[in-house]
């Protein structure tokens, strides 16, 4: 038997029903749906014969099905069952991780730390995974992956639309990302003039940038041993400039950084800014974005 349970506080005279794609659940005909039984703590429950099934809950009058309010989101599926919550789904975040890096996830919902903390994902057979319950009606859910290798890497911030997620991993909606395996080849877009990422090292890296029309590369470094403009060279039709931020005076660092980036944009229109520490690079670009909006 499958023991279905859902937590829901219904108004007097209403009841919870379950309907699904099998004969046991009425073949999606609300008139053939099963009315669930109320128990303490507003847990509604019912047992059905064990079988593979898709199902959803709805609210209607206790005595007979008349006015119907379906829960939101895609159909549920079940394997090993737990207590459901109205309009919530168990969501499984997975990302490809063949090198078994330490991978963390953060996000806007409370179960994902509200971007205030990072949650370590479980690694298994080259895949990192995290499972939580999320409100299917929240259209503003955002999330981000964080890799810890010799340095720290964070993915772009993704927006999640649970209404569009239709595949399942076991009994959880699957959100799968397979583009994070080669972290040093990822390219991020800041605005219409700037893309950013890691420093290109190989011919293949430069070819990848050229595919995105990123032929002007500005590499930031910060070291006492190098001059302000250490070098400028051509690689595979790409102009690669290395700018040493060490020589920027601390008291006007942010203003000089803004002016420098604006000069590059005026001259080249579309640039790729890079650094081997994305955490440092993001700090520079956040300064640029903040100052640009103020002007």
Looking at every residue in the chain, the average pLDDT score rounds to: 85
Q: State how beta strands 271-274 and 216-221 pair.
A: parallel
Integer Cα distance of 100 and 127 in angstroms = 8
Give the DSSP letter of residue 159: E
**For residue 4, what is the DSSP state?**
E
Q: Is the pLDDT of residue 204 over 60?
A: yes
SS (H, E, C) 73-140: CCCEECCCCCEEECCEEEEEEEEECCCCCEEEEEECCHHHHHHCCCEECEEECCEEEEEEEEECCCCC
pLDDT over 80 at 260, yes or no: yes
Mean pLDDT of 255-261: 85
- Confidence check: pLDDT of 181 > 60: no
Name which residue leads in pLDDT, 156 or 238.
Answer: 238
Strand order in the sheet with 88-96: 122-124, 127-135, 88-96, 172-177, 168-169
Alpha carbon separation from 41 to 8, 82, 244 (Å, rounded): 9, 15, 64
> What's the rounded mean pLDDT across residues 36-54?
90
Closest to 145 (Cα-Cα) out of 163, 182, 119: 119
Find out whether 74 and 163 touch, Cβ atoms under 8 Å.
yes
Model confidence pLDDT, tens digit, residues 68-108:
999 998 899 876 666 889 999 999 999 888 778 889 999 99
**pLDDT classification of 205: cutoffs 50, 70, 90:** confident
Q: Quick: pLDDT tens for 112-159.
A: 999 889 999 999 888 999 999 999 888 889 999 888 776 677 777 888
165 falls in which pLDDT band (50, 70, 90)? low
Write the CA distances from 9 to 38, 49, 59, 94, 162, integer angstroms. Answer: 10, 26, 11, 33, 24
Query: Cβ(180)–Cβ(96) under 8 Å?
Result: yes
Residue 238 CB partners (closer than 8 Å, separation 6+): 200, 206, 209, 210, 214, 215, 216, 217
| Domains of the chain, each with CATH number or no CATH | 2-84 (2.60.40.10), 89-177 (2.60.40.10), 184-294 (3.90.190)
Element at 173 (helix H, strand E): strand 172-177
Question: Is the separation of the CB atoms in 133 and 102 below 8 Å?
Answer: no
What is the pTM assigned to this prediction? 0.62
Return the SS3 of 274. strand
CA pair distance 145, 105, nearest whole angstrom: 5
């Amino acid at each position: 038997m499958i023991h279905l349970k859902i937590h829901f506080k219904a108004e007097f005279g209403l009841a919870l029903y379950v309907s699904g794609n099998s004969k046991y659940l009425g073949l999606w005909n609300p008139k053939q749906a099963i009315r669930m039984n109320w128990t303490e703590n507003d847990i509604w429950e019912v047992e059905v014969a064990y079988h593979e099934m898709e199902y959803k809950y709805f609210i209607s009058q206790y005595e007979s099905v008349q006015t119907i309010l379906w829960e939101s989101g895609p159909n549920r599926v079940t394997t090993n069952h737990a207590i459901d919550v109205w309009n919530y789904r168990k969501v499984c975040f997975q990302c490809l991780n063949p090198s078994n890096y330490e991978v963390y996830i953060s996000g806007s919902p409370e179960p994902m730390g509200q971007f205030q903390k990072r949650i370590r994902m479980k690694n298994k057979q080259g895949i990192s995974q995290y499972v939580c319950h999320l409100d299917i009606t929240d259209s503003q859910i955002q999330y981000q992956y964080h890799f810890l290798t010799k340095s720290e890497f964070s993915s772009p911030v993704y927006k999640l639309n649970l209404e569009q997620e239709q595949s399942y991993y076991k009994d959880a909606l699957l959100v799968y990302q397979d583009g994070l395996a080669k972290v040093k080849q990822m390219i991020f877009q800041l605005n219409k003039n700037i893309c950013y990422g890691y420093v290109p090292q190989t011919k293949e890296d430069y070819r990848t940038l050229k595919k995105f029309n990123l032929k002007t590369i500005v590499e930031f470094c910060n070291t006492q041993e190098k001059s302000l403009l250490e070098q400028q060279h051509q690689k595979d039709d790409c102009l690669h400039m290395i700018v040493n931020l060490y020589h920027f005076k601390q008291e006007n660092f942010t203003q000089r950084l803004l002016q420098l980036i604006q000069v590059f944009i005026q001259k080249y229109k579309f640039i790729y800014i890079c650094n081997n520490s994305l955490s440092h690079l993001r700090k520079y670009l956040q300064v640029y974005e903040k100052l640009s909006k103020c002007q």
